[in-house]
Structures are given as C-alpha cells and as structure tokens.
C-alpha cells in the first residue's frame, strides 16, 4: 500500500495509537457532551488559525452576496438570519469541530438508541429510487456530522430500503489508520471505493442496485467550470455521468443537527435527465448543492478555497 510514500513507520504508528486512543475515549461519552466539547475546541481553533479563518470568511462572504441576489424570499436560512460574517465564521469553526467529534460517540450508540436520534424525512423518495432497480447516486455535501452516514445501511434496511451502501473516499496518509478506517466502515455495512482506483467497480456497484454516496462540494483539481453560489468553481460532473451511464436515480441528502443532537436527514429526488454535457451536469450538481447547503449554512465545511481555479 502507498509504496514509495512515508505512510508507515514508527511515527505513523505513534500517530495512529494516539488517534485511536482519543477516538475510543470519545466513543464512551454522551453525544451531547462530545458536541459541547467540540464547540469549545472549535472556538480555540477559530482564535488560533488566522489563515483558515480568512478562508472561511471569504467563502461565507461569497455566499452572502449570492443570498442577497436571490429573488426567492425562502432563501434566508443561512447567513441572512441576522448573522454577521464574523459571527458566522466563528460558528463554522465551533460547529465543524462539534459535528466531527460527536460523530464518534453517535455511531457508537446501540442501534435502538441511535434510531431514536435520527429523523428520516422523505425516505420514501430514496425507497422509490432504489426500487427502480438501477441504483442510486446519493449526492451529498460535507455538512453536519457527515461521517454518520457510514452507519445508515442498517437504518435504511429497518425502513425497508433494501440496497447495499457504498461511498467514494480519499485514502488516508497513514497506513495504520487506513486499514482501521476501512475495517470500521465495512463492519458498519458500508463498502468503500478509492477515489483514484478507477470507476469500473463504482459503476458495477451502482448498476447492480447499490446506493453510492458522493461528496461533491469540495474543490477538485480537474473538473468543469460551473457557477457555485454565483462564482465559477471547478466541479466534478461525476454524479451526473455515473447516473447517466448506470441509468441510476440521483437523490440528494441533507444532514442537520437539531436541538439535543437530534439528527434530521432529508432526501430529495434530483432530475439530471435534461443535462447532457459535462458542463451541464456540473451545473446541476452545484445547483442542488446550493439547495442542500443553504438548509444549514454554518454547518458546512468552508475551510478550503472552494473557488480556486
């Protein structure tokens, strides 16, 4: 694995041991307590990480200008709720850390307890899409506790959505963490596909009726130029390409924590039929991501330069 790269060795092993110990500790704590601790850690990061703070502030400024230009008065769910850009920037740091850390305690809960904390809205949309028999591409953004999706397979089954769950992911730069991470996801019922390993296995999985989660909101090095919150951004057309080739349905998923760490999961069918070119597929992807992210603006992961070309 990762031949020629320093992804193993004593320092990587030490890194792995420290990370595993921290994660095991978090798994023993209540979700609300870990979320609270995450907010405090996020606040410290907001104070110390000036470069990242500038990136988040710039990204949110772009989104704010886009919201101000919308004629649809319903688009007021994010920064337009009386928050300044500075306030929203701090909130992004606090909520991102809380979302990430609370995931570990959330997924460690027994199935019955976890189920009581998840509210699936419009899950019949996903069920109907699966029953078409051509697979489903689950369009997602990095928002909320997105790693919780790894345990959704058994929750889907309990809601009569009977299809295997998979995801495309980027390999970790630590061989020990990589092996552990893949093992964890497989035990939770999720099949992982390496981003750079080619799309043949991904296509076969989707074509055979699987639900494939694709996080399409992050910056990519190659892709199509498409407007995202009113500004050009390189965007992957993979969601639409895969759906077209496999004749799969596209369903977007929105994750949002409510009070007491109750997780609201919402599904929406997305129509890619009228798009034919890579540019059109990228455009539709971004338009749906805008709808997803504006459901909970400061819960998004805004720490990278999404608009860098």
Distance, CA of 177 to CA of 148 (rounded, Å): 18
The predicted structure's pLDDT at residue 84:
87
174: CB partners within 8 A, 6+ apart: 7, 8, 12, 15, 16
Nearest to 176 by CA among 4, 18, 282: 18
The predicted structure's pLDDT at residue 7:
83
The predicted structure's pLDDT at residue 82:
60
Give the pLDDT of the chain (309 residues) as one tens digit per residue: 444 467 888 999 999 999 999 999 999 999 999 999 999 999 999 999 999 999 999 999 999 888 888 766 454 444 555 678 999 999 999 999 999 999 999 999 999 999 999 999 999 999 999 999 999 999 999 999 999 999 999 999 999 999 999 998 888 899 999 999 999 999 998 999 987 666 889 999 999 999 999 999 988 888 899 999 999 999 999 999 999 999 999 999 999 998 889 999 999 999 998 898 999 999 999 999 999 998 888 999 999 988 877
DSSP strand pairing (224-228 vs 231-235): antiparallel
Strand partners for 294: none
Nearest to 140 by CA among 37, 253, 59: 253
The predicted structure's pLDDT at residue 278:
94
Strand partners for 168: 193
The predicted structure's pLDDT at residue 78:
47
The predicted structure's pLDDT at residue 5:
60
């Amino acid at each position: 694995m990762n031949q020629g790269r320093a992804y193993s060795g004593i320092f990587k092993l030490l890194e792995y041991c420290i990370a595993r110990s921290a994660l095991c500790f978090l798994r023993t704590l209540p979700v609300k307590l870990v979320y609270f601790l995450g907010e405090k850690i996020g606040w410290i990061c907001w104070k110390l990480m000036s470069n990242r703070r500038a990136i988040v502030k710039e990204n949110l400024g772009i989104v704010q200008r886009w919201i101000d230009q919308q004629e649809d008065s319903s688009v007021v769910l994010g920064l337009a709720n009386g928050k300044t850009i500075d306030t929203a920037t701090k909130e992004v740091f606090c909520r991102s850390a809380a979302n990430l850390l609370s995931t570990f305690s959330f997924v460690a809960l027994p199935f019955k307890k976890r189920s009581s904390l998840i509210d699936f809205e419009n899950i019949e949309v996903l069920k109907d899409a699966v029953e078409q028999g051509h697979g489903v591409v689950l369009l997602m953004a990095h928002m909320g506790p997105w790693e919780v999706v790894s345990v959704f397979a058994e929750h889907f089954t309990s809601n009569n959505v009977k299809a295997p769950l998979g995801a495309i992911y980027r390999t970790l730069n630590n061989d020990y963490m990589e092996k552990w991470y893949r093992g964890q996801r497989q035990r939770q019922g999720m099949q992982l596909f390496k981003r750079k390993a080619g799309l043949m296995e991904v296509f076969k999985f989707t074509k055979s009726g699987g639900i494939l989660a694709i996080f399409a909101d992050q910056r990519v090095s190659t892709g199509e130029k498409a407007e995202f919150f009113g500004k050009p951004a390189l965007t992957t057309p993979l969601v639409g390409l895969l759906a077209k080739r496999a004749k799969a349905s596209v369903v977007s998923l929105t994750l949002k924590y409510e009070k007491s760490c109750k997780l609201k999961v919402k599904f929406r069918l997305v129509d890619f039929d009228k798009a034919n070119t890579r540019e059109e597929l990228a455009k539709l992807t971004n338009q749906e991501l805008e709808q997803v992210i504006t459901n909970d603006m400061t819960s998004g992961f805004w720490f990278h330069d999404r608009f860098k070309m």
